[in-house]
Amino acid sequence: MSTDEMKSSGPSRVATDEIRHHSEMMLPTELDDRTILAERPDRHEVSQWEPYAFLVEDEHSPCGKPESVATLFLANRECPFRCLMCDLWKNTLARTVSLGAIPHQIEFALWRLEPAKHIKLYNSGNFFDSKAIPSEDHPAIATLVQNYETVIVENHPNLTGPVCQEFQRRIPGQLEVALGLETVHSEVLKSLNKRMTVSDFDRATEFLDTSGIAIRAFILLKPPFLGDGEAEEWCLRSIAHAFDHGARVCSIIPTRSGNGIMERLERAEMFSPPQLTSLERVCDVALRWNRGRVFVDLWDARKFTDCANCADDRIARLQRMNLTQQVVSRVECEQCGGSA
């Protein structure tokens, strides 16, 4: 199915089409934890008493306009799910943090940030993994975020359960849990070593939705083993699936190298990063569906284009679309036609 066909068919057809099986795809079977770990470079030094980064940024909010979000990147024990494409482990620790360390990190950042209406507590893994963030610290964390309208955390579908309900009851604001769906292509999802299925995602979203907890989904554009011709289709299918299952937000993440194993896949011609043009097309289509908020991850986005003449303008266009949730006219470029 071409992108134009996706656009004309709308999300209902995308969501109900049977996912075809790519029997010709040769996926490696040895990409397990041991192999992924063997390719890693060194991790960064981080402290259990300070977040490794924090900032306030604007994001298009549920009320229909940009509002301030305090984003904290907490340092804690590494996620136990060693996903093939992940590089977040670079800013993690090898052990569980001391009791009180995570509340101290949050307090450290909030003392230094301007006030905001919403807060993201991102921890390079799973907020409800007690080996990363001790559950004994949840009451203190909840006290620190009492004044925020939305508290957004990230979590693996298979670690989603009653502990999420308990934390929602502790805070007056809306809890939003960001789940990594990544892709609905079952064979590719299996190859990512994420140790989950699409059904696991569906079970987690049903639990969260019935618990009154908001859902955000992370979707990969062009994960390993998908070529240029099918990457956009599967990204759009995945976005549609997430919206079908209760997500209010979909964040599109262009798949990057930089963690060791991804470079190995590049050398083997099993992966290549998506082009900025592809990210633009997917964002245009998904926004026109008007099914929920759609954001594109623009970190280091210049690496996805070869045209220095238009790159900044095209990235700025996508940033405007993130903030307004409206499709903006495409950038014209004399050098590449806006397609490099």
Task: Tell me the pLDDT tens digit for each residue of 271-301.
Answer: 999 999 999 999 999 999 999 999 999 999 9
pLDDT at residue 338, as a whole number: 74
SS3 category, 215: strand
Does residue 175 surpass a pLDDT of 80? yes
The count of structural domains within the chain is: 1
Task: Tell me the pLDDT tens digit for each residue of 82-96.
Answer: 999 999 999 999 999
Task: Tell me the pLDDT tens digit for each residue of 227-263.
Answer: 888 999 999 999 999 999 999 999 999 999 999 999 9
User: Structural domain of residue 301, as residue ranges?
Assistant: 3-308
Q: How far is CA 300 from CA 51, 59, 254, in A?
A: 21, 18, 10
The C-alpha atoms of residue 329 and residue 332 are separated, in whole angstroms, by: 9
Does residue 143 surpass a pLDDT of 90? yes
- Residue 328 belongs to some domain of the structure: no
Contacts of 15 (CB under 8 A, 6+ apart): 237, 240, 241, 243, 244
- Residue 198 belongs to some domain of the structure: yes
Please give the average per-residue pLDDT across 199-216, as a whole number. Answer: 98
Does residue 1 surpass a pLDDT of 80? no
Q: What percent of the chain has pLDDT over 70?
A: 91
Task: Tell me the pLDDT tens digit for each residue of 60-90.
Answer: 999 999 999 999 999 999 999 999 999 999 9
Does residue 23 surpass a pLDDT of 70? no
Q: How far is CA 159 from CA 129, 131, 163, 207, in A?
A: 7, 12, 9, 12
Please give the average per-residue pLDDT across 175-199, as a whole number. Answer: 97
- Residue 63 belongs to some domain of the structure: yes
The answer to whether the CB of 92 falls within 8 A of the CB of 125 is yes
Give the pLDDT band of residue 11 (cuts 50, 70, 90).
very low
Give the pLDDT band of residue 31 (cuts 50, 70, 90).
confident
- Residue 336 belongs to some domain of the structure: no
- Residue 101 belongs to some domain of the structure: yes
Please give the average per-residue pLDDT across 178-187, as a whole number. Answer: 97
Contacts of 149 (CB under 8 A, 6+ apart): 117, 118, 173, 174
The answer to whether the CB of 76 falls within 8 A of the CB of 98 is no
CATH code for the domain of 117: 3.20.20.70
The C-alpha atoms of residue 172 and residue 74 are separated, in whole angstroms, by: 22
What is the average pLDDT value for the chain, to the nearest integer?
91
Give the pLDDT band of residue 30 (cuts 50, 70, 90).
low
Please give the average per-residue pLDDT across 209-220, as a whole number. Answer: 98
Among the residue ranges 19-33, 106-120, 125-139, 311-325, the one predicted with the least confidence is: 19-33
Give the pLDDT band of residue 21 (cuts 50, 70, 90).
very low
- Residue 10 belongs to some domain of the structure: yes
Does residue 12 surpass a pLDDT of 70? no
Regarding predicted confidence, which is higher, 210 or 29?
210
Q: What percent of the chain has pLDDT over 90?
A: 87
- Residue 98 belongs to some domain of the structure: yes
The order of strands in the sheet holding 66-73 is 53-60, 66-73, 118-122, 150-155, 174-182, 214-221, 249-254, 293-296
Please give the average per-residue pLDDT across 168-195, as a whole number. Answer: 97
What single-letter DSSP state applies at residue 93?
B
- Residue 319 belongs to some domain of the structure: no
SS3 category, 120: strand
The answer to whether the CB of 93 falls within 8 A of the CB of 77 is yes
